C-alpha cells in the first residue's frame, strides 16, 4: 500500500486550522497539506476547505509544484515513501461514555428531539446510539464512534440550538473531540462510522448519511435500515466501510454531495467486493434551488412529515 509524502494535516486543536484563501470563513475551515518527511506545511495556499459544498477550494501539492515549476521528479507526482508499520488504534474507556449518557436534560440536541418525538422514543435512541452530553460547552452533545467490536474510537462533540435543532457555529465552528479533552498526546486516532456498533448481529440493509444528527432522525422514520453516518462529505472511505463487506448499502448524500458520493460508490464497489453500494436520487430529483443552496439533507425533508405516517 502506497504511503504518500504529502497529506492533509490531522486535527490537533484550533492551531491546525486556518482561514480559507477563497471563502475566508472566520471559523477557520482550511486544512493545509504537510510534508510528512519534514512535518512542515507545503504552502499557506496548499490545502482544502472543509466547506466542500459551499466553497470547494482544494489546491493539492501536485498542482502547486507544477504552477511553481518545481522539479517534477522531486515533487510533481507526490512520490510514495516507505510505509511504516500499521499502528494499533487507541480507545476511550467505556466508563467515560456511560457517564456521558446521564444528564441528557442538559443536552440541547436531546431537548430538540424530545420536543418533536417525545421522551419515550428519544430514550430509546439515546441508548441505541449512545448519545452523550458534554460539559465542554453548556448543552453540547457527544456522538460516540463505537466500532463493530464495541470499542470506542472517539467522540465528536457538537453544540446545537435546542429550539431549531441547527448546529451553532461560532468562530471555533463548535466541533471538538473527546480524545483531545484529556490532554493526551499519544492517542492513535482511527475513526469508524458513527453507529458502526449497530452492525453486530444485525443484518438489516444499511443507509449511510453525512451527519450524525441525520442518521438519528432518519432512524425514527425508517427503522427498517441501520442508519450510519460518515461525519462529513469526504469521510466516506474504504477504511471506514471495511466492515460493510457483504451487506446491502444505500448512500443518502446531502444536496451538492451527490456527484462526489456517486464516484465514491463506484470506487467502494471495487474496493469491497461482495458489497452492493447503491445511491439514492430522492433529493436530487425533488430539490428546489434554494434547498440546493442550503445543502439540505434527508432529515430536513423528513422533519416536515409525521413519523406516524411511516
Instruction: List the chain domain ranges.
Output: 3-74, 90-192, 193-310
d(Cα 30, Cα 22) in Å, to the nearest integer? 9
**What CATH architecture is 193-310?**
3-Layer(aba) Sandwich (3.40)
Instruction: Say if CB 277 and CB 252 are below 8 A apart.
Output: no
Quote the distance between the C-alpha of residue 247 and its chain's center: 21
pLDDT at 72: 45
Which residue, among 145, 134, 246, has the nearest Cα to 195 in the 3D structure? Answer: 145
User: What's the pTM?
Assistant: 0.79
pLDDT at 309: 80
Query: What would the pLDDT profile of 244-275 be if each residue is shown by its tens digit?
Result: 999 999 999 999 899 999 999 999 998 898 89
Beta carbons within 10 angstroms of residue 66's beta carbon: 13
Phi first, then psi, for residue 144 (nearest 5°) are -75, 135
Phi first, then psi, for residue 261 (nearest 5°) are -75, -25
Q: Where are the alpha helices (DSSP H) in the chain?
A: 61-67, 94-100, 108-117, 119-129, 212-221, 238-241, 258-271, 282-286, 289-294, 298-302
Which residue, among 29, 28, 27, 65, has the nearest Cα to 46 in the 3D structure? Answer: 65
pLDDT at 45: 92
Residues of the chain below pLDDT 70: 1-3, 71-86, 171-173, 182-184
pLDDT at 172: 57
If phi > 0 it is left, if psi is from -120 to 50 it is alpha, else beta; for residue 115 that is alpha
Amino acid at each position: 500500500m502506497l504511503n504518500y509524502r504529502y497529506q492533509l494535516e490531522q486535527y490537533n486543536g484550533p492551531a491546525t486550522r486556518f482561514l480559507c484563501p477563497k471563502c475566508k470563513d472566520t471559523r477557520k475551515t482550511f486544512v493545509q497539506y504537510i510534508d510528512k518527511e519534514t512535518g512542515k506545511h507545503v504552502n499557506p495556499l496548499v490545502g482544502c476547505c472543509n466547506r466542500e459544498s459551499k466553497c470547494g477550494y482544494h489546491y493539492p501539492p501536485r498542482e502547486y509544484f507544477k504552477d511553481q515549476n518545481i522539479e517534477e521528479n522531486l515533487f510533481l507526482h507526490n512520490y510514495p515513501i516507505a510505509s511504516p508499520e500499521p499502528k494499533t488504534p487507541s480507545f476511550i474507556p467505556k466508563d467515560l461514555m456511560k457517564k456521558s449518557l446521564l444528564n441528557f436534560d442538559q443536552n440541547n440536541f436531546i431537548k430538540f428531539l424530545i420536543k418533536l418525538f417525545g421522551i419515550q422514543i428519544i430514550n430509546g435512541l439515546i441508548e441505541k446510539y449512545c448519545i452523550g452530553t458534554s460539559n465542554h460547552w453548556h448543552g453540547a452533545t457527544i456522538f460516540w464512534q463505537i466500532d463493530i467490536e464495541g470499542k470506542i474510537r472517539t467522540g465528536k462533540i457538537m453544540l446545537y440550538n435546542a429550539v431549531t435543532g441547527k448546529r451553532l457555529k461560532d468562530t471555533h465552528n463548535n466541533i471538538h473531540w473527546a480524545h483531545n479533552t484529556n490532554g493526551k498526546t499519544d492517542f492513535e486516532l482511527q475513526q469508524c462510522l458513527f453507529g458502526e456498533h449497530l452492525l453486530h448481529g444485525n443484518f438489516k440493509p444499511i443507509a449511510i448519511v453525512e451527519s450524525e444528527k441525520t442518521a438519528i432522525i432518519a432512524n425514527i422514520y425508517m427503522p427498517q435500515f441501520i442508519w450510519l453516518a460518515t461525519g462529513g462529505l469526504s469521510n466516506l472511505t474504504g477504511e471506514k466501510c471495511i466492515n460493510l463487506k457483504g451487506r446491502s448499502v444505500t448512500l443518502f448524500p446531502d444536496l451538492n454531495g451527490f456527484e462526489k458520493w456517486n464516484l465514491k460508490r463506484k470506487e467502494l464497489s471495487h474496493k469491497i467486493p461482495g458489497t452492493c453500494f447503491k445511491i439514492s436520487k430522492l433529493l436530487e430529483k425533488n430539490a428546489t434551488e434554494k434547498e440546493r443552496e442550503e445543502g439540505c439533507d434527508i432529515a430536513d425533508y423528513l422533519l416536515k412529515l409525521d413519523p406516524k405516517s411511516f
